[in-house]
Structure 1
Amino acid sequence: MRIGFIGFGEVSYELSKGFKEESVTEIYAYDPLYDREEVKEKAKELGVVLYPDPVQVAQQQPDVLITAVPAQHAWDAWEKVSLGPLHEDTIYVDVSTAGASVKNTVYEQLLNKNHYFVDVALMGPLPVFQHRVSVLASGSGVDAFMERMRPFHMNIEKVSDRTGDATNIKFIRSIYTKGLSMLFQEVLQLSYKLELSDMIIESISQTMDEKPFKEIMNRLVTGSAIHSERREAEMSNVVSFMEANDERPIMAEAIKERLADLTSKGLRETFHNETPESWRTVMEEINKKGGVIHDETRQ
């Protein structure tokens, strides 16, 4: 097995550590900082051969070529790779957080839809799991990628054959995970200041622990479809309350704005003031009123 990396930062380093444990002996890498001592030391530690040009990595005809660079450099990295020979048997993998539109363009324009291409979203901490990290994968080369990496015990879940779906899942999930962490920040910052944090945490805990997550999610979404206007008014008072206590209502303002947008959809009238049974019904109505995103317009 020959594995190539474009970019030899934390992602490539941790993956390489894991692959070495699986007895992968040929690993090649390019990094723009290839001549720095710390990069050389990490490569030497793992027996990774460094090259000063990404084309040279591609010329080694790796079984898998992985681009692991910051999102803003993904296109440039692939553009450089495409200047060299593109091999029919190489599986080209992008683990960056570049958007689906960038990855689609790489596949369509630089690889001309003629090569295996895989959009990968890494879903866990690499220093902990290394190559066994949970991976979501989509694109034309997913099946070949999963088969080729099977002996090395990677944890790959196929999303679809459509480039970008894996990244889209990660981005959408990030709205929840990052949003929730900042919501906690806003709640705890104010409750701690007012010496109410213990009671607030206990109260929220009781609410969130009483039912499984999916049931709670469904209840919150369907309930807001009917009661958004009243909840918007309540959030106006919350915003004023926070400002009176010298706290910036960043999340509270966003919640108020989202509720106002929901009210503008007229869902209470659509559902005749009756709470729908499923969040899917709510989403279907919102899509009818706001326009459905069809496959050809996905970004």
Structure 2
Amino acid sequence: MTPQRIAIIGFGEVGSILARDLRAAGHRDTVAFDIAFADAESKASRNAAAQGVRTTVCGAEAAARSDLVICAVTAGSALDAARHARSGFGHGPFYLDVNSVSPGTKREAAAIIEAGGGRYVEAAVMTSVPPHGIRAPMLLGGPHAEAFLPVAEALGMRAEVFSADVGGASSVKMCRSIMIKGLEALTTECMLTARHYGVEREVLASLGDTLPHKDWPALARYVMSRALIHGRRRAEEMREVARTVQEAGLTPLQSAATAERQDWAAEQGRALPRELIEGGELLPLLDGILAMRRRG
């Protein structure tokens, strides 16, 4: 049950990785749409050109004649992407929504897609995509999830059906993000403050005793780097996490603060040398951020 033509809406990190893996597996009839394609020098445009992926200037045009539409935009654009593409769903393609949004947002997107004639499939990607690519494990939800599962397996995806209702799979993802993105934010704040006071060694030793990990300095550097590189996207996701918490009848005190810290990290990351963020030791990274803050 391999789709003949696949459309990818959103050609950022996730969309371009999925396109790369699909083409490597022999799925050549792929078309992509991203609002950034309007700029020929954008990263999305360069990625598409490097991969030889055909592009279009309209989401509905990408969806037309495609058997499968994969939506991989930022969290804040998920509903807009669905609205822009829905007029191309008259032939009833699957619409795989891999965006990290709240259960309520997933249900809104499902209503838009179903009204246009598409078959909406909720997907919650349960780990970081870059190390795993198309093999990143995902939970599927919605009334079309069971029918889509053989398609996912044929494409090489590691997917399992979580629920026939839209929203359940994403609730797992959103609750996980409270912890993962929150850990990034807390680690960033903790380690920068500790380094300012010159007590980072003692703090790391205490953390190692309390929360056992074989290499806390490496862990701290890694989670901080994720926020510095992907903070903007993570902040959008955390606002959807906050909505998830509100949908549960709780006040998203921690999630809202995490979104702000992720936005802050993105600002720092844009000004730091990429090699300082991605490689090396924890202390030079901390010193680089603190020095930049003092200059600013």
Cα deviation for residue 164 of structure 1 reads 1.9
Alignment partner, residue 164 of structure 1: 167
The correspondence for 1:87, drawn from 80, 91, 96, is 91
Alignment partner, residue 221 of structure 1: none
Cα deviation for residue 147 of structure 1 reads 0.7
The correspondence for 1:45, drawn from 31, 34, 50, is 50
Alignment partner, residue 246 of structure 2: none
How is 1:67-146 mapped onto 2 (pairs within 5 angstroms)? 67-88=71-92, 90-112=93-115, 115-146=118-149
Which one scores higher on RCO, CA 8 angstroms, separation ≥ 6? 2
- The 3 A distance-change label for structure 1 pair 133 and 110 is closer
Cα deviation for residue 146 of structure 1 reads 2.0
The 8 Å contact of residues 5 and 29 in structure 2, kept in 1 or not, is answered as yes
The 8 Å contact of residues 18 and 132 in structure 1, kept in 2 or not, is answered as no
CA RMSD, Structure 1 to Structure 2 (Å): 2.8
Aligned residue for 2:211, secondary structure, equals: helix
Cα deviation for residue 115 of structure 1 reads 4.4
The 8 Å contact of residues 9 and 70 in structure 2, kept in 1 or not, is answered as yes
Cα deviation for residue 113 of structure 1 reads 9.6
Cα deviation for residue 24 of structure 1 reads 0.5
Cα deviation for residue 117 of structure 1 reads 1.3
- The 3 A distance-change label for structure 1 pair 191 and 114 is same
Deviation per CA, 1:171-229: give whole Å up to 9, x if none.
2111111222333344434444454433333333233339xxxxxxxxxxxxxxxxxxx
Q: Quote the Cα distance in structure 2 between the aligned partners of 1:67 and 1:208.
A: 37
Uncovered stretches (5+) of structure 1, i.e. residues with no partner: 211-249, 255-299
Q: Quote the Cα distance in structure 2 between the aligned partners of 1:185 and 1:69.
A: 26
Aligned residue for 2:139, secondary structure, equals: strand
Alignment partner, residue 247 of structure 1: none
Cα deviation for residue 108 of structure 1 reads 2.6
Alignment partner, residue 244 of structure 1: none
Q: Quote the Cα distance in structure 2 between the aligned partners of 1:72 and 1:30.
A: 17
Name which one, 1 or 2, has greater alpha-carbon Rg. Answer: 1
Q: Quote the Cα distance in structure 1 between the aligned partners of 2:63 and 2:23.
A: 20
Alignment partner, residue 261 of structure 1: none
Letter in 2 for 1:203: S
The correspondence for 1:30, drawn from 30, 33, 36, is 33
Give the length in aligned residue pairs.
Answer: 211
Uncovered stretches (5+) of structure 2, i.e. residues with no partner: 214-252, 258-296
| Range 23-32 or range 97-106, more displaced | 97-106
Cα deviation for residue 41 of structure 1 reads 4.1
Q: Quote the Cα distance in structure 1 between the aligned partners of 2:90 and 2:101.
A: 21
Alignment partner, residue 9 of structure 2: 6
The 8 Å contact of residues 27 and 47 in structure 1, kept in 2 or not, is answered as no
Cα deviation for residue 40 of structure 1 reads 4.3
Aligned residue for 2:121, secondary structure, equals: strand
Cα deviation for residue 148 of structure 1 reads 0.6
Q: Quote the Cα distance in structure 2 between the aligned partners of 1:113 and 1:55.
A: 11
TM superposition score normalised by structure 1: 0.62
Percentage of identical aligned residues: 27
Aligned residue for 1:154, secondary structure, equals: coil
| Range 167-176 or range 119-128, more displaced | 119-128
